[in-house]
């Protein structure tokens, strides 16, 4: 059974520094249809930056990163992701994390509905009707598979820049891990619940698929699942719930624009926290739906050898036009919850840190790790930060035609190549240039392309 503590966690607990994340969902860049709403929503986003900065400062730490559980954009257009990237860069700077330290999963608004062809629509309906068997058949066929993933083109460029690539084999994305105590690791598993989303989706009709439902338990690691849709939106929700309950400790979702928190005892010494986020920028702002985000703190509870999760829910104060703690949401709930964590207990007992004062000062950082099911990884685990930053700028900040020009100018592809380069192939050419030691040339070419783009946008 989980344990609760009445006081919010402040900064450090015991001998170890906690991992603190800003959690956003349903930001919907590009949803505004008139200038007045743009101004109002932009103001709320500015106040979110102020609030997050102040709350992180109150904790006495710098943040480990940012989590976004889908619907970054509204219509999945490149210009919407460009605005999102600029704003996320500013948020990262205000809370003290690197702008690379962002984890993303797609939502239904991260699909370009204009790219849903008649063939894609036929495939999506077939998967809904026939389930896993049809989904697996499409995923195993390279041509048919692109009919599913082609709808994510702008999202894939944006998320790929951060190393949060979609696994086009239908398996969950290469994930990230953060050490919160010696021998105690938190693993983030990123799922794509929008894989068969169409123009309009009914509750209970979506499918994760077996390849995403199954993830391997590892001794000493507890898993946090990041997914856009809550389980009730899935056809395979019962089977997904069984795997999640047995293998994961926390599920963080979005989509419904209204927050909820439930802790389910799975068995003795094993709990599952299900946290649904409110929308950072809902479609309509009223008494029920308003601007919301969370500050999440993960730390190791030494007394129980458990994962402790502190939720600081932030909501918009209509009268004062600022964010504050969401006290109605917390009514009857505790901020800090210690979860029964069987995979922590099955690991080697943590050793005490041998540092001055017994306190680990370094900020816990999320590191990319290979998918333990397939052993594959879209992200080069040895990629240094300077290369990661060049990758971010190349895929996130440049449109496809400018990336192609750079690859041609640097001799990675022939000028007379007429075939369209999909995201996976572009990544391979990018990695080839990196392997050739041409990171500096890539960075300089990106600088030129960005300036040319600015001049073109201003013309």
pLDDT above 80 for 371: no
Q: Count how many residues are written for the chain.
A: 459
Beta-carbon contacts of 194 under 8 Å, excluding residues fewer than 6 positions away, are 70, 106, 107, 108, 110, 111, 206, 228, 229
Stretch 254-273: mean pLDDT? 95
The whole-model pTM stands at 0.91
pLDDT class of 8 with cuts at 50, 70, 90: very low
Taking only the tens place, the pLDDT of each residue in 404-417 is 999 999 999 988 88
Cα distance between residue 263 and residue 353, in whole Å: 31
Taking only the tens place, the pLDDT of each residue in 137-181 is 988 888 788 878 889 999 999 999 998 988 777 776 667 899 999
| HSE-up of residue 295 (Cα within 13 Å, Cβ side) | 30
Buried b (16+ CB within 10 A) or exposed e, 377-396: bbbbeeeeeebbbbbbbbbb
Cα distance between residue 221 and residue 223, in whole Å: 6
Neighbours of 107 (CB within 10 A): 29
Stretch 50-59: mean pLDDT? 96
pLDDT at 422: 79
pLDDT class of 31 with cuts at 50, 70, 90: very high
pLDDT at 252: 98
pLDDT at 6: 34
pLDDT above 50 for 258: yes
pLDDT class of 14 with cuts at 50, 70, 90: very low
CA 194 to chain centre: 13
pLDDT above 80 for 59: yes
pLDDT class of 351 with cuts at 50, 70, 90: confident
pLDDT at 372: 60
């Amino acid at each position: 059974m989980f344990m609760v503590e009445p006081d919010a966690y402040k900064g450090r607990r015991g001998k170890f520094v906690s991992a603190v994340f800003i959690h956003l969902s349903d930001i919907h860049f590009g949803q505004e249809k008139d200038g007045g709403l743009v101004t109002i929503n932009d103001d709320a986003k500015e106040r979110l930056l102020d609030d997050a900065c102040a709350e992180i400062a109150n904790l006495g730490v710098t943040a480990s990163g940012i989590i976004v559980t889908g619907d970054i954009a509204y219509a999945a257009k490149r210009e919407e992701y460009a605005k999102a990237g600029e704003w996320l860069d500013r948020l990262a700077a205000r809370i003290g994390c690197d702008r690379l330290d962002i984890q993303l999963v797609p939502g239904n608004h991260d699909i370009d509905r204009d790219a849903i062809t008649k063939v894609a629509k036929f495939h999506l309906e077939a998967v809904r009707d026939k389930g896993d068997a049809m989904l697996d058949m499409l995923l195993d066929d390279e041509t048919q598979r692109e009919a599913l993933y082609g709808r994510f083109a702008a999202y894939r460029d944006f998320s790929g820049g951060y190393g949060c690539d979609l696994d086009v084999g239908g398996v969950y994305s290469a994930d990230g891990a953060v050490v919160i105590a010696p021998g105690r690791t938190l693993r983030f598993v990123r799922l794509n619940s929008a894989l068969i989303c169409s123009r309009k989706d009914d509750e209970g009709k979506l499918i994760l698929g077996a390849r995403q439902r199954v993830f391997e338990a590892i001794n000493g690691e507890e898993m946090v699942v990041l997914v856009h849709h809550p389980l009730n939106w899935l056809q395979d929700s019962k089977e997904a719930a069984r795997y999640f309950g047995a293998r994961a400790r926390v599920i963080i979702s979005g989509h419904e624009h209204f927050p909820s928190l439930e802790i389910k005892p799975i068995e003795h010494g094993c709990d599952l926290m299900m946290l649904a986020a409110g929308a950072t920028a809902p479609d309509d702002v009223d008494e029920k739906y308003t601007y919301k985000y969370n500050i999440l703190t993960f730390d190791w509870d030494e007394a129980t050898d458990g994962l402790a999760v502190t939720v600081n829910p932030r909501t918009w104060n209509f009268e004062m036009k600022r964010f504050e703690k969401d006290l109605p949401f917390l009514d009857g709930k505790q901020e800090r919850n210690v979860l029964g964590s069987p995979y922590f207990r099955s690991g080697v007992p943590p050793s005490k840190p041998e540092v001055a004062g017994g306190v680990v000062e370094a900020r816990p950082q999320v590191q990319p790790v290979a998918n333990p099911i397939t052993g594959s990884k879209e992200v080069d685990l040895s990629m240094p930060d300077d290369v990661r930053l060049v990758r971010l700028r190349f895929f996130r900040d440049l449109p496809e035609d400018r990336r192609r020009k750079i690859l041609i100018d640097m001799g990675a592809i022939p000028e007379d190549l007429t075939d369209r380069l999909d995201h996976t192939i572009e990544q391979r050419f990018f990695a080839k240039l990196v392997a050739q030691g041409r990171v500096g040339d890539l960075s300089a070419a990106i600088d030129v392309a960005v300036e040319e783009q600015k001049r073109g946008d201003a013309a």
